[in-house]
Structure 1
Amino acid sequence: MSRSAWAGLITVFLVAATVRIGWVVARHGRDPDTLSYPDEYAYRLAGRSLAAGGGLIDEFGYRATYMPGYPAFIAVFERLHLPLMATRLTQAVLGALVAPATFLLARAGGGHPRPPDRMGGGHPCPPLTAPSFRGCVALFAGLAAALDPFLVFFSGLLLTETLFAVVLVASWWLVLLLVDRNRPASLPVSFGVGLLLVICVMLRPASTIMIAIAPAMVLVYRGFARPAWWSAGVIVAVAIVGLFPWAARNANLLGEWRWTTTRGGISLYDAMHPGATGGSSLAATKTDAGAAGLSELEWDRYWHDRAMTAVRADPGRVVTLAARKLLRTWNLIPNEENSRRGAPAIVSAAWMIAALATAAVGWWQVRRAVRWWTVLLVPVASFTLLHMVFVGSVRYRIPVMPMMFVLSAAGVCQLLRGRAAGRSTTTAPVDGSTLGGRST
């Protein structure tokens, strides 16, 4: 990278780290031990269990209801007897890495086809490969990730969103490099994709779908050539090897190979039970008489069977719930009752409207760079569809927003360029730019 690119990379990280540290101190400084959400209690309990040497155990005594990644992160601080504020601040700094990761994700568009020749108003549109355009997009995308109110808010909570967003964006940056035919199908990059996807799954089991999607995209976009098969094979092999110890541990403890968790059943029930609204409501399941005394595998099957019973009883309701979950995931304001009014709602709505509007402008400008934007948006589409089956929440869009910010940044850079062109010229040029040896 050039010196200016390194400067941009460091700048967006420093901005992100400063904002997050400031937020954590302001939000949690007076009472750092207070937890706000049920999942925070669950993760801290699992982390304490690991730190004490008892293994990964939840409130029911089950041993595979959570992936070990985030509890292991918490366990480090519990083992060292560090205050909870140290955990929050460390996570905030690590979470700031999402900004430089987004910066690199935006720069990865350099090897892909260019956008349309002309933007609104007749002004020539720069190629996606133009260094000045890529630099502008990378900087604005990185700053958007640095300042995103949701990413900042979650940086101090004991939840997986912050670390998962960093790893997911970093993995997808490498995927974008792999599908670029102007670059060699690098095996080290393929190894990096596989490793980062393992970490994604260790933090959030829903990302297992990306282990199938990433190699499939490499194969498709590289025309199923032999190097593509090697790259895809490395990704899958690394993922299998990385998850094998966890699956073997579960086989030893539970008597069944589980590559992720035993929460699939209750998660599906949460999304499909007769009283489901699209959000999560698991309080009643803790006192359900039918689940009492079940082994962990029986417990998982029990909730899975109840979920499928509800689906079969009213299949049409599944479609209605899917629409509600979609709206919840992409709601302009938080779904939580206490945050649906006042400053949180105003900030959320303003930010999301601006982000989505500029993303639409950005997509229009780069719409002919199909290879680039389809790969870029695969995580957005995948997790959106996934949470049209399982419960929908603003939480679940947060890790994929950096992909949207890349398009938003493209829109902002085009709008800024249009204004500059409008001030400097009164007549649009009749010829376009040249890319790849072809005149336009």
Structure 2
Amino acid sequence: MFSVALAARVGMLLFTFAQPQRFDYPDSQRYALVARNIAAGLGPIESPTNRTGTDPLYPLLMSPAFALLTDDTSVAFVWTRLLNIGFGMLGLAALLGLARRVAGDAAALAAGAIYSIDPILLFFHGLVLTEIPFIGLLWPAMYFLWRARETGRLRFAAAAGALLGLGALTRSSALPLAVVLPAVIALFRTGREVAGDASRAARWLPTLIAWMALLAVLSPAIVRNHRLLGTFVPVRTGGGATLLESLGPWADGGPGMEKVTWPRVPPDADEAQRDRIYRDAALTWAAEHPRGAVRLAWAKLRRTWSLTLNAPGYTSRLYDVIGWTTVAPVFVAAAAGAWRLRRRAGVALFVLMPALLIALMHLLFVGSVRYRVPAMPGLFILAGVGVAPWIERLLLSKPRTKDAHS
């Protein structure tokens, strides 16, 4: 399975050479700009007036290409796509480990097969965006959280918290996820409880350790941002602008920064002050137009969980067929898997938690298939549970022999 997954990802890398324009996104150029500045010793900045507006870890990982190898962005993108492949394979290993522990070998086999060849997931390996690195951090963290839940061993909780912190530095919109996930394991029995208050304390100790590790990883960014802005910013600024993109008369549920009418800001306003002005303007509009905000929330939800792609250039009949033949079966099988786990609701809730939290966040922020991609391994696990009975019958059952009856 690892060989198939690796071959598919290398194939996608080669495809990017044939159609480079299809894999060139504005965010990719922004990450390259920040990576150049890191390589030049300027830190993770876009410009002197936007020093804290980009999640720092992905450009940091890209920066050695500019520091040591090349000044050519296209060559640096090859380096970054190779990193994507590595993170993608880490995600596969974590998915297999987690699926095997929560649902058994057959479900793990099916989930891993879907992950290995899912076309949308493969496509994102070719993009210089944060989705695949985030998968490679989030799902190992999920695995370690489950191990902490099973064993009560604090080293698993610490590893999970550190990975969640790195994930938040890669994708700051996932910070709520990084905070909530360690709390989820406290709601499940760990197998090590004793009666009374000690049991509750034992359940919450791994959560506290994970939170401490999360804070430790985020601390350098928090300190840097406070030094630059004089206020608490856990990862980056820019959330206010994104919120204003999402809420306003120009909003349609999808990306559209170019359509926003920006409020006036003082010439000397720093990044945090601009963010606050934009956020207040967005929330004021939502309070004055509650029906419009609800309509937009529904549009964002539909875009995020659409069977077909929304982005310009990906709305042809071919892409619709790919969506209906690959995404729809996963959703149906995942629903079947959730039904099979109805007596183990905690398991289903755990693997679905990234999807649920991402869905909630994108009721507020713009919606896109892109934003659900990091949550899809959880749905692959549920889909594996849904088809596990057939896998067991076809591949894992052992034929009964005459000796078995003697």
| 2:101 pairs with 1:108 | yes
Match in the other structure for 1:29: 17
Q: CA–CA distance in 2 between the matches of 1:362 and 1:30?
A: 39
Counting only pairs closer than 5 Å after superposition, residues 320-339 of structure 1 correspond to structure 2 as: 320-339=295-314
1:158-173 alignment to 2 at 5 Å?
158-173=128-143
Counterpart of 2:121, as a letter, is L
Determine the structure 2 residue equivalent to 1:118. Answer: none
2:168 equivalent to 1:201: yes
Give the deviation of 1:140 after TM superposition: 1.3
**1:149 has 2:124 as partner:** no
Q: Residue 290 of structure 1 corresponds to which residue in structure 2?
A: 264
What is the RMSD computed on CA atoms of the aligned residues?
2.3
Q: Which residue of structure 1 aligns with residue 49 of structure 2?
A: 61
Kindly provide the amino acid, as one letter, of the partner of residue 107 in structure 2: V
Moved more, 336-345 or 246-255: 336-345
TM-score, normalisation: structure 2: 0.89
Q: Which residue of 2 aligns with 1:240?
A: 215
Give the match for residue 8 of structure 1. Answer: none
* Cα distance change of structure 1 residues 344 and 31 upon mapping to structure 2, 3 Å threshold: closer
1:17/1:93 contact within 8 Å kept: no
Question: What do residues 9-36 of structure 1 show as CA deviations (whole Å, max 9, x unaligned)?
Answer: xxx332222101111112x224658852
Change (3 A) 1:60 1:274: farther
1:301 aligns with 2:264: no
For 1:224-373, list aligned pairs within 5 A: 225-285=200-260, 288=262, 290-291=264-265, 293=267, 294-373=269-348
Cα contact 1:65–1:261 (8 A) shared by 2: yes
Q: Which residue in 2 is equivalent to 1:437?
A: none
Q: Which residue of 1 aligns with 2:404?
A: none
User: Could you state the TM-score of these two structures normalised by the residue count of structure 1?
Assistant: 0.82
Alignment partners' CA distance in 1, 2:266 and 2:123: 37
Assess if the C-alpha contact under 8 Å between 2:110 and 2:391 holds in 1. Answer: no
Shift of the 419–232 alpha-carbon distance from structure 1 to 2, 3 Å rule, reads closer
Alignment pair present for 1:73 and 2:61:
yes
Distance of 1:349 and 1:385 partners within structure 2? 24
CA distance in 2 between counterparts of 1:197 and 1:220 reads 19
Measured against aligned partners, the alpha-carbon deviations of 1:128-182 in whole angstroms (never above 9, x if no partner) come to 5xxxxx1111111112111111111011211000100121111112222233xxx
Q: Judging changes above 3 Å, is the alpha-carbon distance between structure 1 residues 244 and 19 closer, same or farther for their aligned structure 2 residues? A: same
Aligned equivalent of 1:17? 6
Deviation at 1:288, TM superposition (A): 4.4
Question: What is the SS of the residue equivalent to 1:355?
Answer: helix
SS at match of 1:340: coil
What is the rounded CA distance, in whole Å, between the counterparts of 1:107 and 1:388 in structure 2? 32
Contact 1:108 1:173 (8 Å CA) reproduced: no
Distance 2:306 2:319 in 1: 13
Q: Give how far 1:299 is off.
A: 1.4
Distance 1:136 1:108 in 2: 11
Unaligned runs of 5+ in 1: 1-11, 110-127, 129-133, 426-440
Aligned partner of 2:188 among 213, 221, 228: 221
What is the identity, as a one-letter code, of the residue corresponding to 1:202?
A: L
Higher helix share: 2
SS in 2 for 1:58: coil
- Alpha-carbon contact 1:42-1:59 (below 8 Å) kept: no
SS at match of 1:290: coil
The change in CA–CA distance for 1:332 and 1:292 in structure 2 (over 3 A counts) is farther
Q: What corresponds to 2:38 in structure 1?
A: 50
Alpha-carbon separation, structure 2, partners of 1:282 and 1:60: 21
Count of residues in Structure 1 that have an aligned counterpart in Structure 2 = 384
Of residues 188-197 and 311-320 in structure 1, the stretch that sits farther from structure 2 once superposed is 311-320
Structure 1 residues 78-124: Cα deviation after superposition (integer angstroms, max 9, x where no partner):
11124232322332233232222211120121xxxxxxxxxxxxxxx
**Aligned equivalents of 1:46, 1:313: Cα separation in 2:** 37
For residues 32 and 325 of structure 1, do their structure 2 counterparts lie closer, same or farther at Cα, with a shift above 3 Å needed? closer
Contact 2:265 2:277 in 1 (8 A): yes
User: Given residue 168 of structure 1, which amino acid in structure 2 is its aligned partner?
Assistant: L
Q: 1:35 to 1:156 in 2, by over 3 A?
A: closer
What do residues 259-304 of structure 1 show as CA deviations (whole Å, max 9, x unaligned)?
A: 121111111111112221111110245x847247332122111211
Match of residue 411 from structure 1: 386
